Amino acid sequence: MKERKKKKTEIIAHHSLWNRRLQVVFLFIAVAVMLYPRILLFTEFFSESQVTYRSPDSCYHVRRIEFIAHHNMTLPFPDPLLAYPEGATPIWSPLYDWISALPSFILGWGQPSAWLVMISAGFVSVIFGMGELLLIGIFMYRILRNAGIAIFSAFLAGISNYQICYTSLESIDHNSLLGMLLAWSFLQLYNFLTMERDKKPWKVTGLTALMIALFFWTWPGAYIHVFIIGAMLFFAIVASRKFHLFFPAFYTFGLASVLVLPLAFLNNRFSINMLSYQHVSFLAVLFLVLIASCFCLLHFAVMFRQRKNTRTSVIILLLFLFIILFSAWLYEPFRAGLSFASGQDRWLSTVVESKSLFIEELGDERLFSFYRVSINLTFISIIFPLAFLLLFTNELSVLKEHSVILVVSSIILFVLCAFQQKYVFEFMLPYSMISAIFIEWLYRKLIKRYSPSAQKYPIGVLLTVILMIGIAMYPVKENFVNISGKFASFRASIHAYKWLKDNAYAEKMDINSKVTPTKGVMSPWQLGHHVQLYAGLPTVADNFGYVFMDRNLWQGFSDMAAFYLAEDEEHAFSIAQKYKCAYILVPHALMFEDYPLLAGEDTKDYFQYSTYEKDGEKRIRIIPTAHFLNTIGARLSMGERNNSGKNSQLLKHFRLIYELPGPEITGQPVSASSLKIYAVANNINIFQEE
């Protein structure tokens, strides 16, 4: 009987989804598959002397990285091209840009070419992405001692659209570093929980404090990341009943606050509000102090329970009063920051990434759709809720303190998918981990249930599982094909930006300089950073414009929307004069679809919405109203194709000086006149010559 049971166990082990030989093979395949879409862009992206970036975030990062690499690794702060015409300090922290500039600075012996800066920065993003996957694998191996599940977890994360989007050559984005830091936080939490009581914990606590501080040095909105790390640590300590770890947690967050302090001082030098939530200010330092105080209170509460004395009671009371008063003092900036992070800001409420991952919403039309979930997380996301429930009910073989980390982070992921998809990329880690554990668990269950068949047809069973996983990953095929089409409109638009740079004769304005621009561009905020990078001109609005709306009565972001929606040319002209705009950049008119919300108006006055079906799925159609066709934005964009009554009226203050040429010139499948540049009459000498 024992021999029979032993033989059955050997059969199950032999036909496990992850035997050693398969692990080695899958490791090489996984690395190759994960690297392919990240470096596939190399020939498309770096084939010309001019590199094309699709994301406005990437455009601004490249400007900062070039400045750092060309100015002896100087940290970037004030930028004369932002919040035109005043200039402003950008909201992003400098660490990501500084690290991205370092390789090119070293390779170029302090004088790297612009091409070297861009290509090395792209590879830094890829390295951060692969580093995140490596840390996922190490964490999973530490908690399960199963190399196969560790590789599979990293693979599921690595082929997701979110991960590829932010960690490829063309994406110069701080999210790649944030993702790696969050993966590191999972590993550090594991190290923290396995820290021996009798050994000096300085190494683990020091590294954890550094990791927490690096979040703020990378991105000013890291409050959510740090709070969730604190929550995962708290629940893991309680679940494992390792209450002695409350005190190390206290001085870990205390040390992190000290490490963030220099950045808060640097930002404060540039007249940034001491408690600003948009930048890393003293609010971030006090936030870390508050978390540290909570862990200190928990430590003394445990001490009081073990041995009650007056001294401990007094300390607990003082700490409790300190936390209450401290929280009340910081309530208003925290409330404003929470409102901003949840997408209630006028600008963020219009951005797709600040909405639910399951809802497609335009105007009053709301459609439930699984499309974005499947595209970004593959069809494997269907089983994730079930896998989560099994983990939550302890059906999957994971230690309680480790499962708590996965459960808490999964709950956060569910909430973000439902209400705020902006942070899904960083917090998608539990999706890949729990899904990999579940697939292994399910495979073992099937092998155990049908072991005679599995013994007879082991290859068939294995191939069936691989085929099913392959089908589940079908949605990510777009990351491996048709790369050129994704760049067409952006590569074509480079011609317009270059023309503007060559003909505007703008003065050179570096970051950290005190130059006051004399001419600027009225551009849709979506193209602001593109104009700044490729044309070297300041714009009224960009991704950062909303942050400065309450600073010195600067209202450029809403004024930009008001300009394109103005029906009266004189009103539009007065806005252009207010911001000393010499040029007007005009793309396709539908780019203005969300602008009524930015201007504080009703979208339904400008657009109507209806549903239709395409490829068996419901979509929302945008229909411009007669009111919209009368706006300056529509008239400048559509020209003779605009059937508006006002279109027949000649514009007195805006003259067309450039139209994007067709495919015969740009070499891209983009129609002519899809991007136009107008000059403001009173500010351009060419009209005086006429």
Structure confidence at residue 135 (pLDDT)? 94
Mean pLDDT of 341-353: 58
pLDDT over threshold 50, residue 556: yes
* DSSP assignments along 342-406, one per residue: TT-STTGGGSGGGS-SSEEEETTEEEE-SHHHHHHH-GGGGTHHHHHHHHHTT-S---HHHHHHH
Mean pLDDT of 578-603: 85
- CA within 13 Å, CB half, 309: 6
CB-count burial class (<10 Å; 0-12, 13-18, 19+) for 428: buried
Structure confidence at residue 2 (pLDDT)? 45
Q: Which of the listed ranges 68-72, 81-85, 643-647, 652-656 does the model predict with the highest average pLDDT? A: 68-72
| Residues of the chain above pLDDT 70, percent | 77
Mean pLDDT of 42-53: 64
Q: Do residues 226 and 215 touch, judged by C-beta distance below 8 A?
A: yes
| Residues of the chain above pLDDT 90, percent | 20
What Rg do the C-alpha atoms of the chain give, in angstroms?
28
Beta bridge partners of 368: 359
CA angle 427, 432, 434 (to 5 degrees): 100
Confidence of residue 11 (pLDDT cuts 50, 70, 90): very low
Mean pLDDT lowest for which of 118-122, 351-355, 507-511?
351-355
Mean pLDDT lowest for which of 166-170, 247-251, 640-644?
640-644
The beta-carbon contacts of 74-78 under 8 Å, at least 24 apart in sequence, are: 74/512, 75/266, 76/511, 76/512, 77/266, 77/267, 77/269, 77/270, 77/511, 77/512, 78/270, 78/511, 78/512, 78/513, 78/514
In sequence order, the 6+-apart residues with CB closer than 8 A to the CB of 132 are 157, 163, 167, 176, 179, 180, 182, 183
Mean pLDDT of 31-42: 79
pLDDT over threshold 70, residue 161: yes
pLDDT over threshold 90, residue 508: no
pLDDT over threshold 60, residue 487: yes
- Residues 267, 277: Cα–Cα separation, whole Å: 12
Structure confidence at residue 688 (pLDDT)? 40
- Domains annotated for the chain, with CATH where assigned, are 485-689 (3.40.50.12610)
pLDDT over threshold 70, residue 513: yes
Structure confidence at residue 483 (pLDDT)? 57
Q: Which of the listed ranges 178-182, 502-506, 542-546 does the model predict with the highest average pLDDT? A: 178-182
pLDDT over threshold 80, residue 30: yes
pLDDT over threshold 70, residue 338: no
Mean pLDDT of 195-199: 66
Mean pLDDT of 112-133: 90
Q: Do residues 120 and 169 touch, judged by C-beta distance below 8 A?
A: no
pLDDT over threshold 80, residue 619: no
Q: Can you say how many angstroms the Cα of residue 526 is from the centroid of all Cα atoms in its chain?
A: 16
Mean pLDDT value across the chain: 79
Q: Do residues 81 and 516 touch, judged by C-beta distance below 8 A?
A: no
Structure confidence at residue 7 (pLDDT)? 40
- At position 271, the amino acid (one-letter code) is S
Mean pLDDT of 255-275: 83
pLDDT over threshold 70, residue 169: yes
Q: Comparing 465 with 568, which gets the higher pLDDT?
A: 568
DSSP collapsed to 3 states, 612-627: EEECCEEEEEEEECHH
Q: Which of the listed ranges 46-60, 267-281, 586-600, 639-653 does the model predict with the highest average pLDDT? A: 586-600
Mean pLDDT of 340-353: 58
Mean pLDDT lowest for which of 141-150, 347-356, 489-498, 626-635?
347-356
Structure confidence at residue 580 (pLDDT)? 86
Mean pLDDT of 100-125: 91
Mean pLDDT of 324-335: 72
Confidence of residue 394 (pLDDT cuts 50, 70, 90): confident
Mean pLDDT of 600-622: 75
Helix axes 429-449, 175-193, angle to 10 degrees: 60
- Residues 71, 105: Cα–Cα separation, whole Å: 9
pLDDT, tens digit, 9 for 90 and up, residues 413-433:
888 887 777 777 778 888 889
pLDDT over threshold 60, residue 318: yes
